Chains A and B, each alone.
Chain A
């Protein structure tokens, strides 16, 4: 593996990481507040669809991203209504919403674009940062990408700051760890959970759009193909923290990039085993073989005021 190869591998890994990172950071916010989103996949898929739809109708990529956030928020809203208002189990709601969104986006594809392939829309252009982009090996990977990639990675320190250095972050953690105690301190548990959930929907939607609007320029049936589940895994592997989650996402993205390039390299590991990697390491990590980790205490448990 020469330096040129590593550089190209990083370029593609960082690009592949961005959609996952948006969704995973959204899930960090939501799970910190105690809401689990198995429908993260559905949020991304809705975002991927609405993004292309919005960009197609308006001819503007930015409008596409806004539409994508709205699409993700819509799925999050459905999850919230089913779980917070009607008190259904969060896991069930998530699984069912995935089925529903897959159906709705496939149906929408046939209705809006009258085919099973969305028409091509223009995609985000790369913004090369002069000077830094010329740094050997890592320069192109981190400083010659599109705006979505920069936004995704800049979100990491922002989220770290919010969660660890602000009252809002503390409140979110309280709501996820000790809802009763949080309520007795005057925090409003369910409104905070709603806010965290909708923020997650918006971010996951944008992540889906990053997939279609920054890369492919079109929507195909089930275009996310399990990326929402990888993002879920990254949150667990990253121990519910922004920086750890970013590291997990990057690791998974490198595995993905390697898988794409493995054949060119003449590596004789079947690529399926590289695709498996994120899921396997997450299970091993959970099993405590890497490091012991603990999810928010009230993750997935609906809160009911007495």
Chain B
């Protein structure tokens, strides 16, 4: 499963995602034309809303964070060959825990409550992510289905809270009370919506890079992902690595939930995540599990999201649903592109092997010498 990380060189790692994104935008353009919309106008309004001003760039950054953090975690787990399909659920429990601390926890000075709330979010996400990890380590149950099922448990838990005990009365939409201003992540770029979550995100990128590239845990992840039998022989505890990797993955997603509540939304709202955790899986793959690649892919998806909002207001009749279409297409093209690269490289290897055989004058079995 981890083969697609290493099966091609650095050139392909960059080329395949770039070509895929270009093709996805081109396909989206064709769809817009087919639906009777001028794609130039549409793309122009997307560009202005995503990158056209400092406010727009800020919006792109804000939309990047809830995708980047879970994608980092998914990439981390995937290095160990673990599919954390349930990041969406970990985002929700992270948001629940962070909201709970911010609303009902102690009010500490120096943004202490904010830090505590983020910590709670990360821990809740870690616990939620650890469940599929434990089930896999202890009973050999695939983490795919269990982590996916836990998404809906988490979403319903959030729904219960915002429609029930945490519901603030007299609102049109189920939501909690806004968290106290002192508990929120402050704006760090005036004139935009960029909040201190950006600092958290940068730290997370650095931390994941460090763990993966510079620690023995990073090596253990790769060993388990590469060949768990060999890892076991080398004295690595596959069970412990599995559980820790899934918990760390969940922690990053839970942190994303906390950042989203304390930074962007200011309260827990029903259905506040429109599938960030699922998009993050696509992002982790688009970024080829590399922390920097994941940053680039998240920025792209964040820009598409910010641009899509502009599209909705600018071009009448065009649905901003062209954005998820573009995202989905980009990743489908990446999957196809990686397949093509592998098929080509296999053909090349086969050819090289054949030439070598000729060179050594090795005849295929059964061929009789003249």
Give chain B residues whose Cβ lies under 8 Å from the Cβ of A282: 145, 149
User: Do A82 and B325 touch (CB < 8 A)?
Assistant: no
- Tell whether B207 is near chain A: CB-to-CB under 8 Å: no
- Residues of A in contact with B (beta carbons under 8 Å apart): 36, 38, 78, 81-82, 85-89, 91-93, 95-104, 106-107, 109-111, 114, 116, 226, 229, 232-233, 236, 270, 272-273, 275-276, 279-280, 282-283, 286-288, 295, 300
Of residues 282 to 333 in B, which have CB atoms within 8 Å of A's CB atoms?
282, 285, 317-319, 321-329, 331-332
- Tell me if B146 counts as interface (CB < 8 A to partner A): yes
Closest residue of B by beta carbon distance from A226? B152
Closest Cβ–Cβ distance, residue A227 to chain B (whole Å): 11
For the complex, is B157 an interface residue (Cβ under 8 Å from A)?
yes
Shortest B15–chain A CB gap in Å is 16
- Given A88-B4, A111-B35, 17 other A-B contacts at CB below 8 A? A82-B336, A85-B339, A86-B335, A86-B339, A87-B342, A91-B85, A96-B331, A100-B327, A102-B275, A103-B324, A103-B325, A226-B152, A229-B152, A272-B160, A276-B157, A283-B146, A287-B141
Question: Which residues of chain A are near B139, meaning CB under 8 Å?
Answer: 287-288
- B135 contacts the other chain (CB 8 A): yes
List, in ascending order, chain A residues with CB within 8 A of B328's CB. Answer: 96-97, 99-101, 103-104
Which residues of chain B come closer than 8 Å to A116, judged between CB atoms?
A: 319
* Chain A residues within an 8 Å CB radius of B285: 92
B 126-169 binary contact with A (CB < 8 Å = 1; else 0) = 00000100010001011011101111110011011001100000
Give bound CA distance, A221 to B54, whole Å: 33
Known: A111-B35, A286-B135. A106 touches B281 (CB 8 A): no
Residues of chain A with a CB closer than 8 A to B318's CB: 110
Q: Is B279 an interface residue (CB 8 A)?
A: yes
Question: Which listed residue, A82, A91, A93, touches B144 by the CB 8 Å rule?
Answer: A91
B108: interface (CB < 8 Å)? no
Q: Is the CB of A95 within 8 A of B278?
A: yes
**Given A95-B281, A96-B328, A99-B282, does the pair A110, B149 have CB atoms closer than 8 Å?**
no
CB neighbours (8 Å) of B281 from chain A are 92, 95-96
Expressed in whole angstroms, the minimum distance between the Cβ of B193 and any Cβ of chain A is 25
List A contacts of B152 (CB < 8 A). 226, 229, 275-276, 279
CB neighbours (8 Å) of A233 from chain B are 145, 149
Tally of chain B residues near chain A (CB < 8 A): 54
Q: Does B340 contact A (CB under 8 A)?
A: yes
Min CB distance A153 to B, Å, is 25
Chain A residues with Cβ below 8 Å from B163 are 270, 272
* B14 lies within 8 A of chain A by Cβ: no
Does the CB pair A92–B335 fall under 8 Å?
yes
* CB proximity of A243 to chain B, nearest CB, Å: 21
Q: A288 to B138: give the CA distance in the assembly, Å.
A: 11
Q: CB distance A272 to B322 under 8 Å?
A: no
Report B190-211 CB contacts with A as 1/0, cut-off 8 Å: 0000000000000000000000
How many Å from the CB of A93 to the closest CB on chain B?
A: 6
Contact B156 A273 (CB under 8 A): yes
Contact B35 A279 (CB under 8 A): no
Cα(A86)–Cα(B342), bound, Å? 9
Q: How far is the CA of A114 from the CA of B317 in the complex (A)?
A: 7
Query: Are B142 and A295 in touch, CB under 8 angstroms?
Result: yes
Q: Is the CB of A109 within 8 A of B141?
A: no
A82–B268 CA distance with the chains assembled, in angstroms: 38
**Docked pose: A154 CA to B259 CA in angstroms:** 50
The answer to whether A96 touches B149 (Cβ under 8 A) is no
- Give Cα A298 to B268, complex, Å: 41
A102 and chain B: residue at smallest CB distance:
B324
Distance in angstroms from B335 CB to nearest chain A CB is: 4
A82 / chain B contacts, CB cutoff of 8 Å: 332, 335-336, 339
Nearest A residue (CB) for B285: A92
Q: Mark B33-47, 1 if CB is under 8 A from A, else 0.
A: 011000000000000
> Which chain A residues border B335 with CB–CB below 8 Å?
82, 86, 88, 92-93, 96
Closest chain-A Cβ to B74's Cβ sits at a distance in Å of 10
What are 25 contact pairs spanning A and B, CB under 8 A? Answer: A38-B148, A81-B336, A82-B339, A85-B339, A86-B340, A88-B4, A91-B85, A91-B144, A95-B282, A99-B331, A100-B328, A101-B328, A103-B326, A107-B322, A111-B34, A229-B149, A236-B145, A272-B160, A272-B164, A279-B151, A279-B153, A280-B149, A280-B153, A300-B142, A300-B144
Q: How far is the CB of A22 from chain B (nearest CB, A)?
A: 20
Least distance between A288 CB and chain B CB atoms (Å): 6
Given A89-B4, A110-B321, A273-B156, A96 and B145 contact (CB-CB distance below 8 Å): no
